[in-house]
Amino acid sequence: MNLTISGHHLDVTPALREYVLTKLDRVTRHFDQVVDISVLLTVEKLKEKERRQKAEVTLHVKGRDIFVEQSHEDLYAAIDQLMDKLDRQVCRHKDRLQDHHHPAAKRLDLGVV
């Protein structure tokens, strides 16, 4: 699994990197077929009162790319909400991949005499 954590108008500190890694463990625990993860942390400087922190993740799994973004005034809160969204989408993707079709009852050989 390739992991890229980058910042736009922001220096990615080791504490921030470690926080993102601990949050990503939950996603990789649910779905282990992740090929590539790209995380972008951004600070949008609009006005001093309206400073927004944004976190984006692009997750590449076999056959699909999952993109999630979240904005908040606090970057750690944005990362928390982002990982919640990503976890739901990964679980939904995993659920779609599983075969939920069961053989029809009339086609089963139950050994009825």
Domain assignment present for 52: yes
Beta carbons within 10 angstroms of residue 88's beta carbon: 11
Report pTM.
0.78
Pair 86, 58: CB distance under 8 Å: no
Per-residue pLDDT of the chain (113 residues; tens, 9 = 90+): 789 999 998 899 999 999 999 999 988 888 878 889 999 999 987 766 566 899 999 999 888 899 999 998 889 999 999 999 999 999 888 888 876 666 666 666 666 55
- Is residue 34 situated within a structural domain? yes
Residue 37 lies in a domain: yes
Rounded Cα gap, residues 25 and 22, in angstroms: 5
If one counts the domains in the chain, the total is 1
Which residue from 66, 55, 44 is spatially nearest to 19, judged by alpha carbons?
55
List the domain range (segments joined by +) for residue 29.
2-107
Name the H helices within the chain.
Answer: 14-30, 75-97
Instruction: Kindly state whether residue 112 falls inside one of the protein's structural domains.
Output: no
In a domain, 87, yes or no: yes
- Provide the CATH number for the domain around residue 67: 3.30.160.100
In a domain, 39, yes or no: yes
Does some domain include residue 26? yes
